[in-house]
Amino acid sequence: MSSCDLYIDQIKQLVTVKGFSQQAARGASQQEIGLIEDGAVAIRQGVIIAAGPKKELERAGWKSGAGRYLNAGGMIALPGFIDPHTHLVFAGSREEEFVARLRGEDYLSILEQGGGILHTVRATRSASAEELFRAGKKWALRLSEMGTTTLEAKSGYGLDFVTELKQLKVIRELNQSLPLELVPTYLGAHAWPEEYQADHPGYLQFIIKRVLPEIARLKLAEFCDVFCEKGVFSRQASKLLLEEASKLGLKPKLHADEINNLEGAELAAEVGAVSADHLVAVSEKGLKAMAAAGVIAVLLPGTSFILQKGHYAPARQMIGAGVPVALASDFNPGSSPVGSMALIVSLAVIKMGLAVEEAITAVTINAAHALDRGERLGSIEPGKQADLILLELDDYRQIPYYFGFNTVKVVIKKGRLIKGG
């Protein structure tokens, strides 16, 4: 008899996305979702020990040796969604700006006038750590209700020393107290703070000399990110910050080529970034550089849907160039107040031309690689952490088809049922 803590069967379709733990799926392989009809999974001590056709697992004795049995009742199973780009911790909301944009105002000109990101900066600076924790917890639990089991969370709504550290400490506290994994990223270079509007070099030095060393000392962030964009951080400033962060052990990420092409993709390749995110305005040359350096493209179609009047990242061109594609929500109060990864899959297939299978690898194994966690997370195969979700659907292609519904009924994180069951 083979003993396990939890055994799940009656899984109509088991989407494993197996075989990419060492390297992200790219090119034609991004369609390989490892589909098993009538599947079963066995879990022991938070780790998957067997996953495959039900008959095989039964024959191996996993069912009879199970501490707990869960009948999936014909639902489909996927690896838990991984959201590799969010701005989870913030105060306030920006529906007024949303309505202004609907009336035709432009995102970057709102920022230039001291609104947009700077509006959230003012609200976040005046919020207490407890208030930020409560808000962050509310949003994180809403995301997990919809199947997200791991998410990245950025600072960047403080810009000053105290608030940036406050945000990162709240992210750490959320990671410790919720049944979700949060990956912290420092994004001090999200906008120029009001007090440094006339002294941009001074702000860069402040980040390099004061903030980065303290974040590294307290191990508050795993990644460092920069909003490389016209009117925000130039290519040169972004390069300087990411190189300084790397020296302190923070891995580089980049908001690259979102609205204007500043050769952010090329910069991501040059500094060895784990991912380059957005990429709506990326060039063919930028994609070649990313493919050669193994940089993952994190695409954020929610932002394009809400903000950019029909301009989406050229996802097909990326797959053709051999760039591994991941998807994220970009959840934030300004340019992407969306948290459902299933809805992101819908947008990716409807608006960016990804195949359903490509979008599924993009929200699971490739998203895990975009957070440097591909060896541990993102697929259902022996040895992987047991993060999986059950959706009340008959076929995985219904994930984008029934758009806007939350069909996630069961969420399992590290072998523990955190929703349903």
Contact 389, 379 (CB under 8 A): no
Minimum Å gap between C-beta 329 and Zn ion is 10
Q: Which of residues 53-112 bind Zn ion (CB under 5 A)?
A: none
Minimum Å gap between C-beta 229 and Zn ion is 11
Structure tokens at 374: 């591909």
**Phi and psi for 39 in degrees, rounded to 5?**
-100, 175
Apex CA 54: angle with CA 49 and CA 381, to 5°?
Answer: 30
Structure tokens at 15: 């989407």
Secondary structure (DSSP) of 107-163: HHHHHHTT-THHHHHHHHHHS-HHHHHHHHHHHHHHHHHTTEEEEEEE--S--SHHH
Cα 158 versus chain centre, distance:
21
Residue placing its CB nearer to Zn ion in the complex, 232 or 342 = 232
Residue placing its CB nearer to Zn ion in the complex, 9 or 330 = 330
Q: Which stretch binds Zn ion (CB under 5 A): 208-216, 266-274, 328-336, 410-418?
A: 328-336
Residue placing its CB nearer to Zn ion in the complex, 36 or 276 = 276
Q: How far apart are CA 166 and CA 305, in angstroms?
A: 31
Q: Which stretch binds Zn ion (CB under 5 A): 31-39, 60-68, 322-330, 399-407?
A: 322-330
Residue placing its CB nearer to Zn ion in the complex, 330 or 357 = 330
From the list 308, 284, 288, 278, the residue with the least C-alpha distance to 370 is 278
Residue placing its CB nearer to Zn ion in the complex, 257 or 330 = 330
Strand partners, 71: 9
Minimum Å gap between C-beta 200 and Zn ion is 21
Residue placing its CB nearer to Zn ion in the complex, 88 or 180 = 88
Check residue 294 and report its DSSP letter: T
Q: Which stretch binds Zn ion (CB under 5 A): 174-182, 327-335, 352-360, 397-405?
A: 327-335
CB atoms near residue 134 (< 10 Å): 12
Contact 376, 364 (CB under 8 A): no
Helices (H), 158-283: 161-177, 200-206, 212-217, 235-247, 264-270
Structure tokens at 376: 């541990």
**Locus of tokens 């191990």:** 219
Site string for Zn ion, 329-358 (x = CB under 5 A): -x----------------------------
Residue placing its CB nearer to Zn ion in the complex, 78 or 290 = 290
Q: How big is the site for Zn ion, counted in residues (CB under 5 A)? A: 1
Minimum Å gap between C-beta 333 and Zn ion is 11
Q: How far is residue 104 from each of residues 99, 182, 302, 307, 326, measured CA to CA in Å?
A: 9, 35, 18, 11, 30
Q: Which stretch binds Zn ion (CB under 5 A): 5-13, 46-54, 107-115, 324-332?
A: 324-332
Minimum Å gap between C-beta 414 and Zn ion is 27
Contact 86, 329 (CB under 8 A): yes
Q: Which 3 state secondary structure label does DSSP give 153? A: strand
Site string for Zn ion, 204-243 (x = CB under 5 A): ----------------------------------------
Q: Which stretch binds Zn ion (CB under 5 A): 70-78, 234-242, 323-331, 398-406?
A: 323-331
Q: In degrees to the nearest 10, what's the CA dihedral of 296, 301, 307, 311?
A: 80
Minimum Å gap between C-beta 281 and Zn ion is 15
Position of minimal CB gap to Zn ion: 330
Q: Which 3 state secondary structure label does DSSP give 297? A: strand
Minimum Å gap between C-beta 255 and Zn ion is 6
Minimum Å gap between C-beta 107 and Zn ion is 12
Residue placing its CB nearer to Zn ion in the complex, 150 or 385 = 150
Residue placing its CB nearer to Zn ion in the complex, 239 or 278 = 278
Residue placing its CB nearer to Zn ion in the complex, 3 or 93 = 93
Minimum Å gap between C-beta 3 and Zn ion is 44
Q: In sequence order, which residues have a C-beta less than 8 Å from that of residue 237 and are 6 or more positions away?
A: 189, 200, 204, 226
Minimum Å gap between C-beta 264 and Zn ion is 13
Q: Which 3 state secondary structure label does DSSP give 98? A: helix
Interface positions with Zn ion (CB under 5 A)? 330
